[in-house]
Structure 1
């Protein structure tokens, strides 16, 4: 028959700064609203206290009894403040002198690994992807200069990390769009000139030059698009098993 506890304590981060729950089965659960170095120091001080109630100062080690100065009872909130002020030295002294129980070391190792993993997951910024650049282009489609507005947004987005390959991909996409903008401007000027002056001996060379410039710029844009397609294809092949 399952034992029914005499009392159940309910704790939350509204009333507590650090909560560690160790069930009979399964991993420990950690909730914390302290800075991580402070929380780690609190756990280490708890481990030191469980390992040796007599304390770690010279007086306690010499007499074998709790030191009236260093081992005097303190309030939990005061202990947390002291832990924040003496996190590094206290941890170093405790780890150098203490031989903790193996089960306690396992718990502390698990808590430290969990907090480190959560911190890395929280702090790791997202990478700049080609989809981000293309989405920004689509978002700025109604802007007076779509590519210029998108370049501004990409340069201002300092939260996203970018490797040289990702930066090169963003440059290809933006330059391709810019080249197609220029080609469209040349084509519009070609049509306007022909509509206004017609195809005559004096305008034939000018119109031919416009058409040649449009083809050159369009070919440049197509080349950038082909290079980017090849780069994305190679990247996808490396990801696939």
Structure 2
């Protein structure tokens, strides 16, 4: 900066209805809590004031300063009331009677267009449901980790969420994640039975075959769970590479 201002004004939508900041470089920034037609009418009234004879009277030309009569500021509250009551007529009159500089028209067009596009984007975002992702499934499992049956509770939550969109790939990912968690649950149950049997009866000729069967079943289920987890990891890796490209 080549000049340090004496004071810096801080404005927010808590104290102002419409804020337009135009930096020396870059696009203008707009903050508004007014309806779009009212905001557009207020901006056009400001433009009419800038392009009106005010500021070009003999007093202003002689002193080089705004005229206290012609350039007296309009009450903001009154301007807002007039804008709200006559938004459409004011727009028609300003377009038909006032010839403003092209640069000012471009700025006004950008401001009104940015407000309209922002509102449309917010509305589209609110109307479009979020898709079901692998992270959603993992979050559901984590949320229900203290439930008596974690996988069953997570499956219940996923089935109840009918707003989320599901593509075939997303549905397959959900199935892999839930079945992986379920298979690991089963492996843990088989391991618990193995340990309980061995603790109660010990390892002998009578229990050897039963304990071996428990071990084989646990190993088979864990292999199945690991295969599903590997397939899901590969699918997510391929999807991430496609997004980066």
Query: Normalising by structure 1, what TM-score?
Result: 0.58
2:188 is the counterpart of 1:189: no
* 1:183-203 Cα deviation digits (max 9, x unpaired): 211221233234445555598
* Structure 1 equivalent of residue 180 of structure 2: 176
* Structure 1 equivalent of residue 106 of structure 2: 106
* Structure 1 equivalent of residue 229 of structure 2: 225
C-alpha change, 1:33 and 1:228, in structure 2 (3 Å) is same
* Structure 1 equivalent of residue 148 of structure 2: 144
Structure 2: give runs of 5+ residues left out of the alignment: 53-76
Give the whole-Å Cα distance in 1 for the aligned partners of 2:223 and 2:230. 10
* 1:74-96 Cα deviation digits (max 9, x unpaired): 9333235437xx77x997x6899
Query: Normalising by structure 2, what TM-score?
Result: 0.58
Give the whole-Å Cα distance in 2 for the aligned partners of 1:183 and 1:90. 74
SS, match of residue 27 in structure 1: coil
Structure 1: give runs of 5+ residues left out of the alignment: 54-73
- Count of residues paired in the alignment: 212
* Structure 1 equivalent of residue 85 of structure 2: 82
Give the whole-Å Cα distance in 1 for the aligned partners of 2:90 and 2:205. 91
C-alpha change, 1:175 and 1:45, in structure 2 (3 Å) is farther
C-alpha change, 1:94 and 1:195, in structure 2 (3 Å) is farther
Shift of 1:228: 0.5
Q: Contact 1:18–1:34 at 8 Å: present in 2 too?
A: yes
* Structure 1 equivalent of residue 243 of structure 2: 239
* Structure 1 equivalent of residue 41 of structure 2: 42
